[in-house]
Amino acid sequence: MKKILESFNKLNDQARYCAFVVVVFMIILLDVLLLVLPQMGSIANISDQIKKMSEDTEEVYADRGRANQLKKDLQKERLQLKALSIKVRPIQEMPVILSDISSIANEYGVKIDQLVPEKTQQEVLTTAADGKYYALPVVIKVRCGYHKFGHFLNKIENENMFFIMKDFIIQNDEKDTNAHLFSMTLEMILVDRALNHAG
């Protein structure tokens, strides 16, 4: 080490400066090779991890948004199901349903020619935990004007009864030129919960 220092001191200023620069360059090169490059790999790895975490976070937010939307949709469907469930009346209430239809007809000045449940056409739709569901056709023939019939039908649809209208026919009334004959079949959806309680 002593010989190296003596040799270094014998050099002129320019040579000493060049030697000093070479030594500093070597130290920096070694620092880059031994310390910085391995750190660059770690930084690149951390960058990839940050990018993946960012994507995962975005996916979590998107999933949370979808979950919230699904909850809202489920709540809406439950409310609709509850509203329909209220409209599906027990089969034992069929006389009350017919009475309600007759009262609504009287309310709007609609003359009923026929209001008959077709019990022979009754069919089982399904059996569920809360009872057996039926479709019972009710044949209705009424005589009135268009406006009165529209009010009558609207009121029936807004009552607590669930039905599907079929076989709708309009004819001119030969006896009254201001009225028409309306024929239709209302397929009433009813439930028999008595069977469920008996079993």
Domain count, the chain: 2
- pTM > 0.85: no
Q: Give yes or no: residues 170 and 107 share one domain.
A: yes
CA gap 172, 121 in Å, rounded: 28
pLDDT band of residue 187 (cuts 50, 70, 90) is: very high
d(CA 180, CA 152): 14
- Residues 116, 176, single domain; the answer is yes
Domain that holds residue 38: 2-80
Domain boundary among 31, 50, 80: 80
Please give the share of the chain, as a percent, with pLDDT higher than 90: 27
Say whether both 52 and 93 belong to one domain: no
Distance between CA atoms of residues 10 and 15, nearest Å: 10
Same domain, 93 and 179: yes
pLDDT value of residue 37: 65
Q: Tell me the average pLDDT across 144-170.
A: 90
Are the C-beta atoms of 95 and 169 separated by less than 8 Å? Answer: no
- Please check whether residue 103 is in contact with residue 155, taking contact to mean a CB–CB distance below 8 angstroms: no
Among 34, 56, 80, the domain-final residue is 80
Residue 75's Cβ-count burial label (10 Å; 0-12, 13-18, 19+) is exposed
Asked whether residue 93 falls in the same domain as residue 187, the answer is yes
What's 187's domain CATH number?
A: 3.30.70.60
Same domain? For 108 and 163 the reply is yes
- Which pair of tokens denotes residue 182? 């309306």
- The residues with which 143 forms a beta bridge, in sequence order, are 111, 181
Q: Where among 37, 62, 80 does a domain terminate?
A: 80
DSSP per residue over 107-173, as a string? HTTPEEEEEEE-GGG-EEEEEETTEEEEEEEEEEEEEE-HHHHHHHHHHHHHSS--EEEEEEEEEE-
At 83 the pLDDT is 67
* Of 129 and 42, the one with more pLDDT: 129
Q: Under 8 Å CB-to-CB from 155, ≥6 apart: which residues?
A: 104, 107, 108
Whether the Cβ atoms of residue 90 and residue 125 lie closer than 8 Å to each other:
no
> Are residues 124 and 180 both part of a single domain?
yes
Residues 93 and 70 in one domain: no
Residue 9: pLDDT band with limits 50, 70, 90: low
Average pLDDT, rounded, for the chain: 83
Question: Looking at the structure, do residues 26 and 124 belong to the same domain, yes or no?
Answer: no
Which is nearest to 188 in space by CA: 162, 155, 159, 156?
162
